[in-house]
Amino acid sequence: MLKDIGVQEYSKIGIISNNRWEWATLAAAAYSLNASLVPMYEAQLPADWAYILNDSECMAVFCATQDVYDRTKREVLPHTPLVKEAFCLDGKLGEPHAFATAMDAAAQKERTDIIAPLQEDLANLVYTSGTTGKPKGVELTHSNFSSQVHAVRHMVDDPHDFVRQNDRSLAFLPWAHSYGQTCELWCAIAHGGAMGICRGVPHILEDLQLVKPTVLFAVPTLYKRVYDGVNNLMESSSPLRKKLMKKSLALGRRRYESENGGDPLSFFEKHAFNTLDGIVLQKIRDRFGGNLRHAFVAGAACPKEIIEFMDNVGIPICEGYGLTETSPIIALNTPMNRKPGCVGKVLGGVNVYIMGEDGKPVPNGEEGEICCTGPNVMKGYYKNVDATNEVITVAPDGNSRLFHTGDLGRMDDDSFIKVTGRLKEQYKLENGKYICPTPIEEAISMSRFISQVVLCGANRPHNVALLVPDWVAIRSELNIDDNALEDELVNNSHVKRLINGEIESHTARLKKFEVPQDWTFVAPFTAANNMLTPKMSIRRHMVMRTYEDLISRMYGDDDVITEAADGAHRDEKAA
């Protein structure tokens, strides 16, 4: 079918779609002609699609739905002269622009010879959504992807320790991002697994019940959603039920410790655990479908509390680490070899260097920038030599290509990595003290009353925070009437006291200068308001720009337009 529309070796085809079987089919078809796939998100703006299609020089584009197709035809194709063909994956057989019509016509013709790609040929051109500036096209080769599959299989004695032939996952991580594509679409299939395709984020919990996955690839948000739900239920329960839930989780922790080198459970602990496991913990596992053996998490740092909670419930989480530019895996915890608090052990074939400010490797245990070499490192940024040279330099061995992640971290003697922050997000307070905002934000966001956090304080006397509240949890905790307006609750003394207490308790282990001295509520950060990337990373610069007046007000700046704060609260209500 692709050959019929003029796709040749080295052609590029775009796809604007969430996960669906046609996505995987088009990828395989493109690779069989040694053409390249350029994936995009349905949630992106038409202007983003146009930029990517032009920059990548795509000659065809496949659109998921009739709406995406209509918007592309109306707002994108007039500005993308190289795109000669456009199809709708949802189109009905017989419609000229329908994928089904093109497939039906191709089925009547002789089979096309396969053009086998070489290892270094381009497989995907993945545009990083980025938290600043224009997206860059990351060139990922067939070698990049195949090396990941091979390395993951050899991280364990038996490849089926990861995924068994009768395993199934629920695919909701976008395959347009390298985490979902590499780990689920390619690695899981290579291990013999099957998958159900989620109908979209609003349907995740429902689809978990339908598919009943045995393995799961997710981001921390999903696990925190369940964690907060359990804590909210526990806090609103009767004293007896609350006591049973706490006892169940405590026994779950003891069971986990006993299975990992700790003291064995006593006879009474075993009996109590077996009883409460069925009454309490199984109901929590049922929220994931009831059959989950283990799960994987990446895409953002996963708080240690979440990993420990999942261990207590009986679903071990294997945290991994990487970037689009590294295909993406750099390090990974395995079901048989985990270190909670670390993002994993360095993947086979990958070499990690922790580089100091002087550009030289630092000893194990010391902090520096995480850099790596190996077959997972991208070819480069498409048509952007300067940007490529900024992140890829010569490794300490004098030969290899060293990729600079921009992340701060440490590596221990067992080659496990701990990420401590983001180099570009690090800032100085007015007094010269350095701040890594991510760990502080993670600590505060562990409150079940706070959904999102952005810390501010660059060149200021102290930190302040922008908080997105969980009004449902707050109303329940404080017995606030459902009819009470959020505009009124913003200044409610009980709400303020609750949030102050939460910040104080969740930052108790931080240094005093790291703790925000003031905070304010803002509207949720979403992809729709351009404050989240498609993979749910916060666009910090957009948040700062949007709320610069609110931030200034918290510092008592004289030139603040005070109406800005009230406007932000009105925006929050509208969102």
**Using one digit for the tens of pLDDT, what is the confidence trace for 270-328?**
999 999 999 999 999 999 999 999 999 998 888 889 999 999 999 999 999 999 999 99
What local confidence, expressed as pLDDT, does residue 151 receive? 94
Q: Do 376 and 350 form a contact (C-beta atoms < 8 A)? A: yes
Coil, helix or strand for 158? coil
- Residues 501-511 have pLDDT tens digits of 999 999 999 99
| pLDDT at residue 113 greater than cutoff 90 | no
What local confidence, expressed as pLDDT, does residue 565 receive? 39
What local confidence, expressed as pLDDT, does residue 130 receive? 57
Place of tokens 């308001």: 529
Highest mean pLDDT among 217-221, 251-255, 427-431: 251-255
CATH for 342-418 is 2.30.38.10
Residues with Cβ within 8 Å of residue 122, at least 6 apart in sequence: 10, 36, 139, 140, 141, 379
Across residues 85-91, what is the average pLDDT? 97
- Residues 452-498 have pLDDT tens digits of 999 999 999 999 999 999 999 999 999 998 888 888 899 999 999 99
What local confidence, expressed as pLDDT, does residue 138 receive? 98
| pLDDT at residue 558 greater than cutoff 60 | no
What's the pLDDT band for 572 if we cut at 50, 70, 90?
very low
Across residues 7-23, what is the average pLDDT? 97
Q: Which residues of 124-151 are buried (b: 16+ CB within 10 A; e: fewer)?
A: bbbbbbebeeebbbbbbbbbbbbbbbeb
- Residues 293-307 have pLDDT tens digits of 999 999 888 888 999
Residues with Cβ within 8 Å of residue 557, at least 6 apart in sequence: none
Burial of 278 (0-12, 13-18, 19+ CB in 10 A): exposed
Phi (first) and psi of residue 137, to 5 degrees: -85, 115
What's the pLDDT band for 568 if we cut at 50, 70, 90?
very low
Q: Do 448 and 228 form a contact (C-beta atoms < 8 A)? A: yes
Task: Say which CATH class 3-117 falls into.
Answer: alpha beta
What local confidence, expressed as pLDDT, does residue 454 receive? 97
Q: Do 111 and 87 form a contact (C-beta atoms < 8 A)? A: no
Indicate the pTM of the whole model.
0.84
Task: Report the 10 Å Cβ neighbour count for 4.
Answer: 13
Mean pLDDT of the chain: 92
DSSP 555: T
CATH for 426-574 is 3.30.300.30
What local confidence, expressed as pLDDT, does residue 564 receive? 39
Percent of the chain at pLDDT exceeding 90: 76
Across residues 245-259, what is the average pLDDT? 96
- Residues 386-395 have pLDDT tens digits of 999 999 999 9
Residue extents of the structural domains in the chain: 3-117, 219-315, 342-418, 426-574
